[in-house]
Structure 1
Amino acid sequence: MSSAAEIDQPTTLPKGAPLGPGSLLWEYFGDHRLKLFFGRSGTLQNMHPAVSAALQQHSNFFDDPWDRLLRSVPRIEDSVYDPPESASAVRVRDYHRDIKGIDHHGQRYHALNPDIFWWTHVTFVETVMTMNEHFGTPLTDAQKRQLWAESVTWWERYGLSMQPVFGTYEEFRAYWSHMLAEELEANETTDFALRAAATPIPPVPGVPEWAWTVIRRPFMEFNVWLLAALMPERGREILGIEWNRLDQFDFRVFAGAVRTTWPLVPRPLRYDRRVYRKIRAAEKGLSWRPARAARWS
């Protein structure tokens, strides 16, 4: 597998941009609309052979996918919204220290290999751009460049090597195209995600067992369809996902409904409550207590 460093990497250290109140990552990363991308983002990450192997060998993903998702997302949000001195990003990094092994290609991997960690990082930033494309106002080229520079600052918080990092939106596009064209694959983990509607899985936390029995299949069918709708066309090809004109029409109607109604939602309700508290505290110049470290697997 090619490393990110091999794809026309600059020789100068990429420059970041301020990450905090007023930044684009702060405005969008805790936005509830990103939850519509959970299936898509996770699947794109898992199309990397090393990430897929790590899930198979070091997590309970196949037994309870909600557990890993609902424990991981708040910690990753903390790495953006907590002040850098809180070391929230360092804790996220350190949860991955013992995640290593051999993937199904016979290649050794370690979750803290910068090229592997970089791929997951890039998918989060790309999702913010795509969320605005489909469900909001598309970012301008200047905003995309700003967002990318902010993502460099976010990466620096992890304390990992800057070797795979590029500092411009244009370089990001080249890297994204390369990964889709050359590196990503269908595998056991992505197959599991696409079969989710037909696979018995535990209920979403907070949903009673009896209710889950009724809603599980239509709920999961919608989420698999949404995963397919949001997946890049090349990603659908890799995964063997069929997508037709009726699907595309239905998605345009759905996306239009989200775009139309979202501006009517009061600002506090657009974010997870814990994220909004951090946003408001920072805007008021107040401090807050960093989130308590949690076990990651």
Structure 2
Amino acid sequence: MATTEKNRIDEGLFGPGSVAWKVWTFPASALQGFARAVTIEHLDPDLTAAVDETGQVIQRTPLRYDRTMEYFSAVMFADTPTVIKMSDILMKVHSRAYGVNKVTGNEYDSNNPDSQLWIHMTAWHSILYVYEVFGPGRLSRDEENEYWRQCAIAAELQPIRQEDVPRTRGEVQKYFDDWRDKLSASEAAISNVDHILNGFETIEPRLPTILKKVGRPFLRASIIATYPRWMRPMLGVTQSRAVDTASIALWRLLFKGAHNNPDVMMAMVERVSPRSVRYIEPAIRGIKADSPRTHSPAWARERYGDPRTPLEQYADIKAARAQGAAEQPYEHNHREPVLEFREADQNPVAV
């Protein structure tokens, strides 16, 4: 398999040796980790409304999953110019995802800081959780504290209030405990979750048909095995403890062989998220950036992107809506342009 052609100018936000890279390069992150995150996210009813109104989860599942992984992979592994460009793209894409929740009557907005923090925390928590369940186990206390500090750094790329971001295991647990009473599952949420859980068929169209059919229940069971038991009825799933145990044991064995094999790792990433390959491959293969330095989001934003923070951008977006100067929200089942990077100038273009 060919390696990434364009090198990075620096090591981004975290770099080799960081706890974040250690956890996010474990193979379960690309399968169980992201699937767990994007399904649990649906228990925020207003987030589900924003997602379901676009129709993209059902209509363009592989692309939706690919683009979600692309964003998080770029934040984790790309150089700082790319990281900031991805942050600005995310703000632009989400700026049209707003409207009225037809189930609750509440207004939803994909750039809302509370919804953005929920997405961010479910992703970072899920990636760590599958690392613990399917891989080496718990981090040391110092490593986990570093992991959550790095989680807070990554949150600067989204319209999230820094004072709201938990920074220790205890604070993370309290954050999710506080959310528990707010969680609910609509018919759309359960339908979308079921669709994503069948990921071997719905997310990975490049797999041979027979492998999709055979692999579907094994992947599905392994994702369900990571859900708290109290949450499963809300997500519309059931599974015995025996299946949980057997599924975890099977995938632990599979990942043990894949973890230290770059070719296997990259073959898996290429199947699940082709857009993420260029960001993940240097970390997996140990390809160094031109500079060994890492930088903060604030430093990078001053040099490479919109000088306004995401929270400042969000305030301007809301002001434009109030004045009737904002773009109209997405229509159901729309097909918006897909933003790509041209390697020559690193500017996003619609294709």
TM-score calculated relative to the size of structure 2: 0.67
Deviations 1:255-291 (A, max 9, x none): 441354245x334643544234443444563799786
Q: 1:196, 1:220 within 8 Å by CA — same for their partners in 2?
A: no
Deviations 1:12-40 (A, max 9, x none): xxxxxx62222122233244321222332
Whole-angstrom CA distance in 2 between matches of 1:251 and 1:276:
26
1:95 pairs with 2:93 = yes
RMSD after superposition: 3.1
- 1:60 is displaced (CA, Å) by 2.0
- Corresponding residue number in structure 2 for 1:141: 141
Cα 1:289/1:254, change in 2 over 3 Å: farther
Q: 1:135, 1:259 within 8 Å by CA — same for their partners in 2?
A: yes
SS at match of 2:348: coil
- Corresponding residue number in structure 1 for 2:340: none
1:274 pairs with 2:259 = no
Which among 16, 25, 28 is matched to residue 23 of structure 2? 28
Which among 68, 80, 83 is matched to residue 76 of structure 2? 80
1:285 pairs with 2:291 = yes
1:111 pairs with 2:107 = no
- Corresponding residue number in structure 1 for 2:5: none
- Corresponding residue number in structure 1 for 2:171: 171
Deviations 1:90-110 (A, max 9, x none): 322332111111222111011
Matched AA of 1:220: R
Q: 1:134, 1:255 within 8 Å by CA — same for their partners in 2?
A: no
Matched AA of 1:97: S
Whole-angstrom CA distance in 1 between matches of 2:163 and 2:281:
35
The farther-off stretch of 127-136 and 278-287 is 278-287
Q: 2:116, 2:159 within 8 Å by CA — same for their partners in 1?
A: no
- Alignment map for 1:1-297 (pairs within 5 Å): 19-37=14-32, 38-86=34-82, 87=84, 88-103=86-101, 104-138=103-137, 139-158=139-158, 160-179=160-179, 181-187=180-186, 188-194=188-194, 204-207=204-207, 211-212=208-209, 214-258=210-254, 260-263=256-259, 265-267=260-262, 269-271=264-266, 272=269, 273-279=277-283, 280-282=286-288, 285=291, 293=348
Question: What's the % identity of the aligned pairs?
Answer: 17
Whole-angstrom CA distance in 2 between matches of 1:290 and 1:177:
44
Whole-angstrom CA distance in 1 between matches of 2:265 and 2:222:
20
Whole-angstrom CA distance in 1 between matches of 2:92 and 2:206:
29
Matched AA of 2:19: L
Whole-angstrom CA distance in 1 between matches of 2:65 and 2:110:
17
Cα 1:105/1:193, change in 2 over 3 Å: same
Whole-angstrom CA distance in 1 between matches of 2:196 and 2:24:
26
- 1:57 is displaced (CA, Å) by 0.8
Matched AA of 2:234: I
SS at match of 2:108: strand
Q: Which runs of 5+ in 1 are unaligned?
A: 1-17
SS at match of 1:21: coil
Whole-angstrom CA distance in 2 between matches of 1:204 and 1:259:
18
Whole-angstrom CA distance in 1 between matches of 2:216 and 2:279:
26
SS at match of 1:243: coil
Whole-angstrom CA distance in 2 between matches of 1:198 and 1:285:
41
Cα 1:148/1:295, change in 2 over 3 Å: farther
Matched AA of 2:151: S
